[in-house]
Amino acid sequence: MLLDALLLQLGYNATLVAIGAALLGTAAGITGTFLFLRKRALVSDAVSHATLPGVCIAFLLMAALGGDGRNLAGLLLGSAVSAGAGLWCMNWLTRNTRLAEDAAIGAVLSVFFGFGVVLLTVIQTLGIGRQAGLEGFLLGSTAGMLYSDALVIALGGAATLFLVLLTRRPMTLVAFDPEYSAARGLPVSKIDMLMMGLVMAVTVVGLKIVGLILIVALLIIPPVTARFWTERSEHVVLLAGLFGGLAAYSGAAVSASAPNLPTGPIIVLMSFVFFALSLFFAPNRGVLAAFLRHMRFQRRVHLRQGLLALAQGQAIYEALTLRLLRRAGLVRADGVATERGRARAAKALRDERRWEVVRSDMAHEATAALYDGLRDIETVLTQDQIAEIDRRIGGPQEVPA
C-alpha cells in the first residue's frame, strides 16, 4: 500500500495531494532557509497564526454574498490579507515602540490567533452553509481536495520558488550580514519585507495541506536539517528544498496509504525523521561524527601520554593506554617498550622540550598558541627553526629499555 502511494498508484486524489505537497515542501524549505539564516524563525509562527482571522472573515463574506464559503481561492486571499496585516503590525511594533522583536511576535501571534478562534467559534454557532471542515485550516485537511485546489497550491508554490530564485543573492547577503549589505547600498528593510512576504506566501499556500499551526515546522525543520550536511549557504538552500519536498511527498504518501491518518501532522513527523537522521549521521556535524572525533582524540591523548611515560621510565597503569601502545607495536605484552616504541617515546619527549622552548620565546608567540600537546612540531616550524631549538636543548635523551 505504501509503495503504491509512493509510486502515485492510489488514485487521482492521492496523486494530487502528493504532488501539491511536494511542491509546497520544496518551496517552504527553500524560503525558510533565509528566515533561519536571518535568525527569525519565530516570525513564521506569527505569520501563520495571523492567517486564521482572514480565513474566517473571508468565509463570512463569501457566505453573506451567497457564494461558496469554502472556496479555496477566496479563503487563501483572506488569509493573505490577514497575514499581511499581522506582518505589518509586527514590523510597526518593532520599529516604533520599545518592544523587542520577540515580544512583538508574541503579541501579534496571540492577538490574531485569539481573534481567529473567536470568529471560528462564532461561525460554528451561526449555522450558515458549509462551515463544516473549516477548522481543518488549523491542522490541514486534504480529504476531498479538488483539482482546482491542488492547482492553486501548485501554482502558489511554483511562483514562490521563482521569486526566491530571482532574489536569492540579496536575501542571502542580508541574512548573513545586514550591516555590510546596507553599506553596499542594498535596501535591507525592503529585502527583509520580501523575505517575510515569501514566508507569508508559503504559509497561505500551505494552509490546506499542513495547516496554520504546523506550517512553521515545514518552514524551519528542513533548513535546520540541511545545515547539518554543509557549510555553504547555496547548498543549504538546495538541501532544504530537497528535504522539504521529500518530507512532504513521503508524508502525503504515508497518510494516503492508511485510513484516518492526517496529512499535515504526518508530513511534520516525516520532517522530524529526516532531522533525526541528519542529527545523528551527518558526516561533519552529526552526533555520531562528533563521537568518533572524540574517540580519536581520546586515543591520541592516551597514546601521547603513554609515550611520555615510557620516555621517563614511569609505569603505565591505564588499561586503554597499554592496549593502544600494544596495538601500535610500541610495547610488548609485558609492558616493556619495543625498539620502535623507545624511538617514538624519545621523539615525543624531545618534542615536549622543543615546545617548552617555543612557549618561552616571545619570537614564537604565534606558534606557541597552536600548542595542544598533540600537534607535531614539524607542522608549525621549519627544519631550520627546529635545528636552532635542538642546539639550545642539546642532544636526544636515551629511553631506558
Better pLDDT: 125 or 318 = 318
Locate the DSSP E strands across 35-108. Answer: none
If one counts every other C-beta atom within 10 angstroms of the C-beta of residue 110, the result is 12
Using an 8 Å Cβ cutoff, are 278 and 229 in contact? yes
Give per-residue pLDDT as tens, 4-52: 556 665 666 677 777 778 888 888 888 888 888 888 777 877 888 888 8
Average of per-residue pLDDT across 311-338 = 85
Task: Output the pLDDT for position 56.
Answer: 85
Task: Output the pLDDT for position 178.
Answer: 82
Q: Name the nearest CA neighbour of 196 among 35, 328, 372.
A: 35
- Considering the chain, what is the average pLDDT of its residues? 81
Over its C-alpha atoms, the chain yields an Rg (Å, rounded) of 31
Give per-residue pLDDT as tens, 65-84: 776 666 777 888 888 888 88
Distance CA 315, CA 35 (A): 58
Segments of the chain assigned to CATH 1.10.3470.10? 2-260
Q: Name the nearest CA neighbour of 70 among 141, 151, 159.
A: 141
Better pLDDT: 394 or 360 = 360
Task: Output the pLDDT for position 290.
Answer: 92
- pLDDT bin (cut points 50, 70, 90) of residue 396 is low
Distance CA 46, CA 93 (A): 13
Task: Output the pLDDT for position 373.
Answer: 75
Give per-residue pLDDT as tens, 216-271: 888 889 999 999 998 888 889 889 999 998 998 888 888 777 777 777 788 889 99
Task: Output the pLDDT for position 399.
Answer: 57
CA angle 104, 110, 115 (to 5 degrees): 125
Task: Output the pLDDT for position 261.
Answer: 75
Average of per-residue pLDDT across 150-162 = 77
- Cα-to-chain-centroid distance, residue 205: 22
CATH topology of domain 2-260: ABC transporter involved in vitamin B12 uptake, BtuC (1.10.3470)
Phi, psi of 337 (to 5 degrees): -65, 140
